[in-house]
Amino acid sequence: MTQDIDHNHTLFERAKRVIPGGVNSPVRAFKAVGGTPRFVTRSQGAYFWDANDQRYIDYIGSWGPMILGHGHPAVVKAVQTAVLEGFSYGAPTEREVELAEEILRLVPSMDMVRLVSSGTEAAMSAIRLARGATGRSKLIKFEGCYHGHADALLVKAGSGLATFGNATSAGVPAEVVQHTLVLEYNHIGQLEEVFAAQGHEIACLMIEPICGNMNFIRASVPFMKRCRELCTQYGTLLVFDEVMTGFRVALGGAQSVYARDIPGFEPDMTVMGKVIGGGMPLAAFGAKRAVMEHLAPLGAVYQAGTLSGNPVATACGLATLREIQKPGFYDELSRKSRLLMGGLTQVAHQEGVPFCSDSEGGMFGFFMLNALPQTYADVMKSDSARFNQLFHGLLDRGVYIAPALFEAGFMSAAHTDEDIAATVAAAHEVFKLL
């Protein structure tokens, strides 16, 4: 390989001629941070290599699924066996049943699940089911929470209290989002006002309990408790979007984290993805039997998918779920996340750089701020210029974090204390320049 040729740049220019923006998902384009995206050629453990054969310590892990690291032997073996049996059948398999049973055993708030192929598909289907089960049209989402790119969810708040949503994407007609109410995350008073005014018209409240699309923001315990109380009072379904947090922050997901502080807590419906597929296209949504039986072929709410329950994806997901249940897995994952965040916070403060961080299980986030944000408006106060400098400084030193200020990071079982020490040392060098 010729050393003076940037193969990433060459591939990016080539990609831009045939793929909009040169990427198949916008954040990959590095538009927020500038520069040339890294085109990955291979991965193993906690690392991947780009087209220039440069190795990086990987803290995005395919945006969360690779909780075991890349190429875990047990998962690879399961996938290889499944591939030899067949890629796709368009017919049911025993492995779909096994995966569903495993998910339900670990997340007892659900009685039944439906497997799909992406988080967007799962969230979209969950909303349709909530509307069909309740006979209502309106839904609540929160500013800064991302639930995929379904039309009804591509909205932000308008002026005034809980106005009808305004589409944030071209191609989404106003009438499609007219029933979407967008509220401020962690704002109890606003939540109470909306339920008092429109509670009996609201089919569901959908929330990221630990929001990974504002970097890393927790719903406060009092806020989550009030969400549960109001949903129960008004017959609204509380939908937890655990596409990111499911099996990532704890074995029982974020709902098990909140159950520690809110006795008997559970959502009415759960949307999952990422870890349950182990890196393959697989997601799910589930609820109690009375709600799920509204789905076709039992009920009138239609949902279908040619590749739903794909035999290779379910093999990958099942092998992953079995590995993460081994004794001490989450204790060690949590320790490493805290070690990384603690190390970065310490060296930032040594150099006088505003910095704060948080983590839960194998998910973490940090801000170039003096205090952890609680809302989307707080997050918007982050120093994006400094973050971009940090991103490129780490990238130049072989550390790959999310190429956007508003994305959480992910620890894997494959990361070592040496990887974390190297990351902190690299960050320290960059902080000195800031």
Beta-sheet pairing, 202-207 with 237-242: parallel
Q: Tell me which residue of 161, 204, 209, 167 sits closest to 185, measured CA to CA.
A: 209
Cβ–Cβ under 8 Å, residues 59 and 399: yes
Catalytic: 274? yes
Residue 377 CB partners (closer than 8 Å, separation 6+): 184
Catalytic: 58? no
> How many C-beta atoms surround the C-beta of residue 302 within 10 A?
11
Q: In this structure, what DSSP letter does residue 212 have?
A: S
Instruction: Report the alpha-carbon distance of residue 84 to residue 222 in Å, rounded.
Output: 50
User: With 0-12 CB in 10 A as exposed, 13-18 as middle and 19+ as buried, what is 21?
Assistant: middle
Question: Count of H helices and E strands in the chain?
Answer: 13, 18
Catalytic: 4? no
Q: Tell me which residue of 392, 397, 433, 391 sits closest to 409, measured CA to CA.
A: 391
- One DSSP character per residue, 360-376 reads ETTEEEEESSSS---SH
* Catalytic residue (choose from 56, 274, 358, 419): 274
Instruction: Report the alpha-carbon distance of residue 45 to residue 69 in Å, rounded.
Output: 5
* Catalytic residue (choose from 56, 146, 376, 400): 146
* Catalytic residue (choose from 58, 241, 268, 378): 241
Active site (catalytic) residues: 146, 241, 274
